[in-house]
Every structure is written in C-alpha cells, then in structure tokens.
A and B are shown apart, each in its own frame.
Chain A
Amino acid sequence: MFRYLVRRFLQMILVFVATTFIVFALMYATGGDPIQALAGERPVSEQQRAQLTKLYGLDQPFLVRYWNYLTGLLRLDFGKALNGRDVSEIIASALPVTAKLALIAIITTIVVGVVAGIIAGVRRGSIFDNSTLVLTLIVIGIPIVTLAPLAQYIFGIKLGWFPATAAGREDDIYALLLPGIILGALSVATAMRLTRASFNENLRSDYVRTARSKGLPGRRVIGVHVLRNSLIPIITFLGIELGALMAGAIVTESVFNVNGIGFNLARALRTEDAPLVVGLVSVLVIIFLVANLIVDLLYAVLDPRIRYE
C-alpha cells in the first residue's frame, strides 16, 4: 500500500508539473505586452515599465519564472493578478461557490442518475428502462451551450421558478440550484447508464444466486450485495466527472453569472490576466488529480479483492 501511494504521488507530481508548465508557457508566451495590458489604455513611462517589470519578475528568464511560480505554490502563494489582488484571495472567494455548485451537481447525479439506473437495471426491459435509455441518450446529446441558455430561458425567464442569474447572491443556495442541476444534468445520463449496466451484470452473478437461495429478502440482496459491487465503476465515474464538472462550470457560471472559478477564468481569459489564468487552472488540475487519487484508494475499500502492492 505504501509503495503504491508513493508511486501514485510521484506520477501526480509529474502530471501536475507538465500540465501547469504547458498552461504557464502558453499564457506567458502570448506575444502581447503584459505591462501595457496592465495599464490599459494609458501610456506607460519608461520608469514605470522598468519598475513593473521588476515587480512581476518579467526580467528573469522563463524557466526561472516558472520555478519561482512552482515554489510559490508550495507556500500557497499563487502570485498577483493584474489588478493587484492576490490570486489566492480570488481563489479563496470563488472556490466555495464552485464547490457548492459542484456539490449540487453531484447530488443531482446521484439522486436522479444512480436511483434511475438501479430501477432500470433491476427491471430490465420494462417501459421505464427503455424510456429512460432513450431519454438519457437525448440528454447526453444536448451540449451544455444549448442546455444552459434553454433552461435559463424556460425556468428563469418564462416560468420564473428560479432566479435567471445568480449574480451577487452566491450565498443563496436557491439561486445556485438551477445552474447546479444543469451542470449535473450531463452526468446524470452517464451515471444512469453506468449504474444500469453494472447492476445488470452483477444481478446475474453467482453470489446473487447464493444470497437468494439462502433466503435473503430481495431488498437486502439488491440494496447490500449488488449495490456495493455495482458502486465501483460509478465511483470511478463520479471522481473523474468532478474534474470535468469544474471545467464545465465555465459555461454554466458564465451563463448564470455565478461568481465562481469558471466565471473568473472566463473573465481572466478575456482580460489577458495571465497570472490569474495560470492560478485558476492550477487549482482545477490539483482538484482533478486529488479526486482521481481518492477514487483509486476507494477501490480497495469497496472491493476487498483489490490490494495495492
């Protein structure tokens, strides 16, 4: 187990360094003038330019700057955004909002997707099974750029059930509900299909027959024996999906004006705020990698046959 952990950790570091390096290189090699971007329309005097170059460390070679950034990360220092705010401060205010959004999305996925998948898996071939299969296919097929404005128009503007935007009310769970559900809608379909397939397979296995022949009630066979074994692929999916959710939040948060990581990232890209973009992307990559690691470790808990050497 320990050796496995060390190996996984080293792999994680490699992936993290490589991905942040790619983003860092792309954002700082854009060819634009960051000092001018900082000043906006106003002219920059030679003296100011020299001072700002020194302040942001732009006079140093590229690799040195990347190294400084990496070591800064270890002290949770993400650098300064172009508007002078600490990137870590922006992250600290935006991350809880996106986390809430992701939480609503994951709960939606589990409640709707997994439960529907269990019902469809147990009653295979029923009307419920067939209609949900077609329905989920349609949901998978609709891209989020279509789904988000559509939901905003129908539920936010026409019906008025939910606030159309969440701007300035990020503490209000009710305002986050619609964007959260939309964010989760895409993974609902996949979660449902995965649960259904997994249940189907396990229902036919020997241990289920054994449990039934021992006289266990069907509720216990399905709720304990089958469910526990069917959870493994679903948990993998949810772990990987968490990373995708964070990235998908860029569209959802932009449409619903939710002041989270995705919204800030979209704005930072528009304003060419390289330090902010690199910082936000680093956070997203870290979340993605840690989620994957936790998923791998959960395997061993859920399936005693898996032992890490």
Chain B
Amino acid sequence: MSDFETVAATEFHTAQPGPAGDVNAPSQPHSMETQKPRSAGADAWRELRRKPLFWIGLVLALFALVMAFWPSLFTSADPQTCQLSRRMAPASGGAIFGFDVQGCDVYAKAVYGTKNSLMIGGLAALLAGVVAMLLGVTAGYFGRWWDAIVSRVVDIVLGLPLLLAGIVFMRRVANAGGGANARVWALIAILGLLGWTTAARVIRSSVITAKQQDYVHAARMLGAGHGRIMLRHILPNALAPFIVIITMALGAFIAAEATLSFLGVGLIPPSQSWGLSISEMYPYMRENAIPLAVPSAFLALTVLAFIILGDTIREAFDPKLR
C-alpha cells in the first residue's frame, strides 16, 4: 500500500486542485505538513485510513498473500498425501476440517490452493493492466485511425463474455494436451487477454480529457516528446481509476479461474486450486458439505478482499462521494 501512496502522492500534481484539500485540513495535528496543500493522492490516503472496511480488505488480502508464498506456515500436512481409509473422516489433529472423499486433508488442500488462485489472478490482472495501459493511452493520445482500430477490437472482445470466451479458449488448450502447469499459464494468458477492455476504455477517456488541458499544451510547447507527455503529464491522471479497476479485476479473475475449474476446463490435478476442490467435492455435497464449504469460504473471502480494496480506494478518490 505504501508504494501506491508514494506514487500517487508524487504524481497527482495539479490534477484536481479542488476545495477538499483545505476544508478538512486541520483535523489531525501534523505541525509542518498541514501548511502546504495536499495532493489528491495524499487526500485519498487520509480518507482511506479512517475506513475500517479498507483495513479489513487489506488484512485479508495480505493474509492470502502470505498464505500463497508460505503455505507451510499454516499447515504441516501435505495436501498430496491422501489415504482412502480416512475418507470423509472427521477432524483430528492438524486436519481441523477433517478429510474429503479421497481422504485428503481439507484444510491443507485449501491452504495450498491459495498460490494458484492468487498467481493466476495477479498475473492475469498484471497482463490485462499492461495491455489496457498500452492500448488505452495510445488510442486516446493519438486518436484517428489507431483509436478506431482499438475501439473496434474492444467492441469485439466485449462481444464475447469473459466466461464464455474463457470456456472456448480453454477447451482448445485442453485439446492441445498441455500438462497441469501449461494450464496455469494458459489461464493467465486467456484471462489477461480477454479482461483488459473495461480498463482500456476508462484510460482512453481520461486520456482524451487530459490531453486538452493547458498544462499538456504547455508541455508540448516546451518541446516535450510524445513519450514524455504521455508518461509524465497524462498517465498520472488515469492512474487512480486504473488501480481500482485492476484491483477489482484481480478478484474477478480469481473467481473466473474457480468457475472455469468448476466447469472442468480450468486447472487439472495435480494442481491445487479452490475451484478444482469445489468441482471435485460438489457431487458429494449431500454426504458431507464441509469439504465443499472450506474451499468455497477461502475463495469467497479472497475475492471479497480485493473487491473491498478496489471499492474503498475508488470511494477515497472520488470527491463526489464524500
């Protein structure tokens, strides 16, 4: 979070010199800092700090992140060692949620599933973000035929709902006969390449607004090149909505991975994933619902964390909502 704050604080110059900066300034004693007007980024951070919901989202997301990188901190059991003799056995020792149909430790499986979900969600969001940034900024900045082409491509990709296209593309990958690892990378590529459209549209429209501002004309007059104008003067204006959309996309991609795995076109064993566990345990729901409920709860909490983060950041940056 501190990264974003410093980036936002330094980059959000002159963007919105609105009255919000001065109105509620002296609420906290900051001695020197209260004297100078705050930037939009610092203002948003003050707003965010006071929201319990933001901290809940942040803690949940960080928790999931730690679990993804160091699953052995949370469980000493190996999710791959399953014994049929323990089929649907109740909780015992380290296995606090008991065992599933194949006699695997339900809790350990859910803990180890975190890595794939976060990796797929995170890398797909990163890929979608890069594509959206490149196409959105250039389409908005250069306009003309390039804008027309990008806009039509956006239309076409939007014409295929994410889930629908994901199923068809993943089917193709499945038929090509990739292993479990190849599926992970295919999912990242497909979700990333299908999920950039909304972000690109938002960036494009904020670039179009920004490029007509006086300070952009001034920069051009001073001899700044296209690259410098785009990076230093236009991009910072599109940063806040971009971060929000990408955070929310991260949650949506994690959910999409689970959905595709549930429908049988996502990950395959021996990969560990919540969607895969849900898909495997769903038929045995009537017999014992716990092996289904645990990965479902992990999935819902993680997606929720990123949606909450995105939502609270969006509210903090939108002065209209205050």
Contact = CB atoms under 8 A, between A and B. Distances in A.
Interface of A: 11, 14-16, 18-19, 22-23, 26-27, 29-32, 134, 137-138, 140-146, 149-150, 152-153, 157, 197, 200-201, 243-244, 246-248, 250-251, 254-255, 265-266, 269-270, 272, 277, 281, 284-285, 288-289
Interface in B286-322: 286, 289, 292-293, 296, 299-300, 303-305, 307-308, 311, 320-321
A143 B161 contact: no
Contacts of A251: 163, 259, 262-263
Nearest to B320: A201
A26 B172 contact: yes
Contact of A134 (B53, B152, B176, B282): B53
Contacts of B258: 143, 145-146
Q: Is the interface of A mostly helix, strand, loop or mixed?
A: helix
Contacts, number: 128
B155 A23 contact: no
The size bracket of the interface on B is 35 or more
Given A142-B304, A281-B164, A288 B172 contact: no
Interface of B: 53, 152, 155-156, 159-165, 167-169, 171-172, 175-176, 251, 254-255, 258-259, 262-265, 275, 278, 282, 285-286, 289, 292-293, 296, 299-300, 303-305, 307-308, 311, 320-321
Contacts of A288: 159, 161
A42 B313 CA distance: 59
Contacts of A281: 164, 168
A79 to B, nearest CB: 17
Contacts of A134: 53
A246 B165 CA distance: 13
A150 B296 contact: yes
A266 B263 contact: yes
A22 B296 CA distance: 33
A143 B259 contact: yes
Secondary structure type dominating chain B contacts: helix
A32 B175 contact: yes
A146 B278 contact: yes
Contacts of B292: 149, 153
Contact of A141 (B156, B172, B303): B303
A141 B307 contact: yes
Nearest to A15: B159
A149 B278 contact: yes
A137 B307 contact: yes
B259 A153 contact: no
A255 B292 CA distance: 14
A146 B286 contact: no
Given A18-B159, A19-B156, 15 more contacts: A11-B152, A14-B152, A14-B155, A15-B159, A18-B156, A23-B160, A30-B175, A32-B175, A143-B300, A145-B255, A145-B275, A149-B278, A153-B292, A247-B162, A255-B282
Contacts of B53: 134, 137
